[in-house]
């Protein structure tokens, strides 16, 4: 419970492809904040960022709880605004947010820090007639989340179709496809909390947007059914990734496990945040229920 009353504004919504996910995260957070006794308000991210600044200057919150997903809210833009206004906020700061959202930059940081990760190439789709990696491989946007735009490519025809239908700019990441166990780790304030295993239905070759958000399309096992040595390695790999990107607050690290080593796919500085989202499930499995997790995050909110 909060000792000193704080005015907390929840940032949510926006006009991006992850608007619905953000609204769900924001509403769940708002309910928890109200239950904790905070004075609350919400801002649905406007298209005009000057309007966002005006609303923040009017409300004058003590803390902003950032429940935005995707570009603007997750890529350092909103974080820079909050730093300028000197309003403490949850999750990571500008540099970590920027680096984590840019999957090509993340890949380079992983390699520099000797963090295992699938082979990845950045290409220009307009002049790349042939797939540069062996099939199957994964094509993904550089700056999206929630598995938006991710495709598993298994043939020349699928590569051709991808090039024709791609809507995320000219550039694209092509990544080695790992058919392994998918295990995620949540890290909170520099401590690796625990693990969860993702088991999508066999109809999904990856943990897609639909598999993530449509009930019954995936099974979640929390904690992941791995032994103590494997769990320690998962946490160690996740924490190293978190530190390499310079994160703070809550993050989720998504990895593949081949039985010996964990390969990092990406780090999410703004993971889904409802009572049934992956990071809160992990926290709950370690004795930190959603409402207490929300309180912890408000308490640790700060500017860069």
As annotated, the active-site residues are 18, 146, 213, 252, 254, 266, 268, 272
The conformation of residue 232, written as its DSSP 8-state character, comes to H
Please state, in angstroms and rounded to a whole number, the distance separating the CA atoms of residues 65 and 4. Answer: 17
| Closest to 195 measured CA to CA, from 208, 181, 184 | 184
Question: Checking DSSP bridges between strand 262-268 and strand 250-257, what pairing results, if any?
Answer: antiparallel
Please state, in angstroms and rounded to a whole number, the distance separating the CA atoms of residues 42 and 55. Answer: 10
| Closest to 43 measured CA to CA, from 54, 34, 33 | 54
On whether the CB atoms of residues 257 and 180 are closer than 8 A, the answer is yes
Please state, in angstroms and rounded to a whole number, the distance separating the CA atoms of residues 263 and 284. Answer: 25
| Closest to 264 measured CA to CA, from 286, 292, 234, 220 | 234
Torsion of CA 265, 293, 201, 22, to 10 degrees: -80
The conformation of residue 135, written as its DSSP 8-state character, comes to S
On whether the CB atoms of residues 69 and 2 are closer than 8 A, the answer is no
């Amino acid at each position: 419970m909060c000792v000193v009353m704080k005015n907390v504004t929840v940032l949510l919504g926006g006009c991006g492809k992850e608007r619905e996910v953000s609204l769900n995260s924001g509403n769940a957070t708002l309910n928890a904040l109200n239950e904790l006794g905070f004075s609350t308000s919400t801002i649905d991210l406007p298209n005009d960022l000057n309007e966002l600044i005006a609303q923040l200057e009017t409300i004058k919150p003590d803390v902003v709880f950032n429940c935005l997903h995707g570009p603007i809210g997750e890529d350092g833009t909103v974080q820079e605004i909050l730093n300028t206004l000197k309003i403490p906020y949850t999750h990571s700061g500008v540099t970590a947010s920027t680096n984590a959202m840019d999957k090509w930059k993340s890949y380079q940081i992983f390699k520099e820090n000797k963090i295992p990760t699938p082979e990845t190439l950045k290409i220009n789709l307009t002049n790349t007639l042939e797939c540069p990696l062996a099939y199957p491989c994964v094509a993904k946007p550089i700056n999206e989340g929630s598995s938006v735009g991710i495709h598993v490519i298994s043939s020349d025809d699928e590569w051709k179709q991808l090039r024709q239908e791609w809507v995320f700019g000219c550039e694209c990441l092509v990544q080695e496809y790992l058919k392994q166990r998918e295990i995620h780790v949540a890290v909170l304030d520099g401590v690796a909390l625990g693990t969860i295993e993702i088991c999508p239905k066999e109809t999904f070759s990856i943990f897609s947007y639909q598999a993530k958000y449509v009930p019954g399309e995936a099974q979640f096992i929390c904690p992941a059914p791995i032994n103590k040595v494997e769990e320690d390695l998962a946490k160690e790999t996740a924490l190293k990734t978190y530190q390499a990107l310079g994160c703070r607050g809550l993050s989720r690290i998504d990895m593949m496990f081949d039985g010996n080593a964990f390969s990092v796919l990406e780090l999410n500085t703004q993971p889904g945040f409802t009572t049934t989202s992956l990071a809160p499930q992990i926290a709950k499995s370690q004795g930190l229920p959603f409402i207490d997790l929300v309180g912890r995050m408000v308490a640790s909110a700060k500017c860069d």
